[in-house]
Amino acid sequence: MGSKCRIVTKLRQNDEYKAITRFLDDHSLKFTTHPPTGTGHPFIVVNLPNGDQMRQSIACTPKGGGYPKRAIGHLRASLREAGYDC
């Protein structure tokens, strides 16, 4: 397993990731999880109802619980900017 796959596996344990994916599931928004490209952060690609896609990066810090409420707020703002009101 490559290091990028390990990052995605660890990401699935991240509190921010769990909160974001729960929010997306609650709003019936489909998404895929991707490892970082180069030296960036892992990210989620959200498929919007209008057919557009939106990319949302996720901080992946070791042993960090993160800030789930802040991550949800940022996601909501990004979705509104993309034309999806939730």
For the entire predicted model, the pTM comes to 0.83
The rounded distance, in Å, linking the Cα atoms of 41 and 74 is 15
pLDDT in tens, 29-66: 999 988 888 777 889 999 999 999 999 988 776 555 67
Q: Is the pLDDT of residue 75 over 90?
A: yes
Q: Is the pLDDT of residue 67 over 60?
A: yes
Radius of gyration in angstroms for the set of CA atoms belonging to the chain, rounded to a whole number: 13
Among residues 37, 36, 55, 58, the alpha carbon closest in space to that of 45 is found at: 55
Sign of CA dihedral 20, 22, 23, 27: positive
**Range with the lowest mean pLDDT among 1-5, 12-16, 49-53, 79-83?**
1-5
Q: Is the pLDDT of residue 8 over 70?
A: no
